[in-house]
Chains A and B, each alone.
Chain A
């Protein structure tokens, strides 16, 4: 048994002869966590999840899923693609029967039916007549009914209203707690993930910008407001992002020592942390050693 859900080394994917969707990605996601894959549109989040699901082969590098290659791990992995593809002609009930047909022995019909019923969906409704949010619910029901060890969700909440979002997030968290399912979900809206995720993978421009336990990452960073004259002093710390506002500097830093009393320091929000790193692609990435020291081995 392994405590690593996904491990990537120098992972890269290029479509045709075009631009690299993902390149040089090295990261490790532990099992039993709810992990957020965050980044702007086109950052390579979907590509990373598709590679992990074994639906595409990487162009270079290596990816290991649940201790094996993605193709072999496929029966233990659930994947909900961004477009929520479903067979439009089938009814909701028939769609779930597809899940039962393709997963004999492991299909959890009760869970799948419960997820669909919670949305008040008519089992006889055709998938093509459903709204975006309803399709998301059916797609999630299919993925959860498979009872995967690892669930990969690409922008799962994008089409949902706040009420459904809260309810489905609750279902996912219950699943994670009950079966120890590792959940990896991508989003470009950070606020959507802040309450439910405990691990972060920040992707930008096809590369990993930041990775680690959210609590550790937040603890390692500080938002400071300092007089503009203290710019030299500021640079003795690791500066992720800084901007001058009048005679003051506001910066996101990783302190390397005690901060002067004249500076106003506060804990950054996850969103500030993410935006700070995305705005500054050249910002130094925390050394993996510093993170793994805190992560359970």
Chain B
């Protein structure tokens, strides 16, 4: 057999090309997802540009007309512009909020769960791609695209929101529970958490739908934890008012309650709000003389965003490490690595 020692021409052609061509492999597998992601970012981005420019201008003009009316019973103002702004802003806020969950569902189901269920992940491992490299590639390239796409959306959202601030009377406050995140990098961190949660869920469940559900669940938990923790990740400002003024909301609230005659801060007691005398009597018993609120003014926005983003990224990193750990254990790669290290 003369062919025994002669490598085929194609084999020599590839011999000097280094490691596996992971980008080409990933693009081949996930081209539809790449198109879908690009389309989503473009559509939402276009919507945000529309909101930022024409819609904000039209709605701001309409609000000026409305405020000029000054309670006159018959007065013309561009109500449709205000309503259109409100609708578009509402749906885009929901969509940007949903992006991390979309990433989690896709990662859990299509990127990891389905491949492990159908055996195509094992097919790749049998094709000289080690499980850890497979996971690294499948996390790294999507992470770049998720960061770029979500980052762009968040930037545009921040521009659109800032353009409306102070000009549109119904614009949402910076500490609105959705705007608080769609306006800044925490949404990017949530999206990366979705990706990492999808990887962990995929290698744990090894099935499409359980992995999808687990990835969504993990992402929701991280979002809830981050939302609850956020006001406590930066020193807050305390503001007190007289009892006669009633409680006030000044920004993102960390804590609030009653100030007693001794100056102590106590939580608002449980009382029946329907019974006006009931609450008053309960406050009297505590010796309440005012209300206090520990809150964050708008100037704390960036420190809050950055500390929360760091916290969420740590959680996302833990998910990713967990996915590597589970995959190494189930495929016996850990022992190989340990052995290689020992030699």
Using a CB–CB cutoff of 8 Å, the interface residues on chain A facing chain B are 50, 53-58, 69-72, 74-75, 77-79, 81, 83, 85-87, 89-90, 94, 97-111, 142-143, 146-147, 177-179
Contacts and interface: CB of A to CB of B under 8 A. Distances in A.
A132 to B, nearest CB: 15
Contacts of B331: 54-57, 71
A103 B337 CA distance: 20
Contacts of B340: 72
A271 B129 CA distance: 38
Contacts of A89: 29, 32
B25 interface: yes
Contact of A78 (B11, B22, B126, B129): B126
A98 B126 CA distance: 12
B332 A53 contact: no
B90 interface: no
Given A74-B130, A102-B129, 11 more contacts: A54-B125, A54-B332, A55-B125, A56-B331, A72-B339, A81-B123, A83-B119, A100-B10, A106-B14, A109-B10, A142-B123
B33 to A, nearest CB: 11
B124 to A, nearest CB: 7
A105 B11 CA distance: 6
Interface in B5-23: 8-11, 14-22
- Which of B9, B127, B337 has the most C-beta atoms of chain A within 10 angstroms of its own C-beta? B127
Contacts of B162: none
Contact of B120 (A87, A104, A179): A87
Contacts, number: 134
A57 B130 contact: no
B21 A109 contact: no
Interface string B25-58: 1001100100000000000000000000000000
B244 interface: no
Contact of B25 (A57, A83, A101, A143): A101
A97 B17 contact: no
B215 to A, nearest CB: 21
A63 to B, nearest CB: 9
Given A90-B28, A178-B1, A55 B126 contact: yes
13 contacts: A57-B335, A69-B332, A70-B332, A71-B332, A75-B128, A87-B120, A94-B28, A98-B28, A98-B29, A101-B24, A104-B20, A143-B126, A178-B1
A104 B14 contact: yes
Interface in B298-343: 329-333, 335-337, 339-340
Contacts of B65: none
Contacts of B15: 104-105
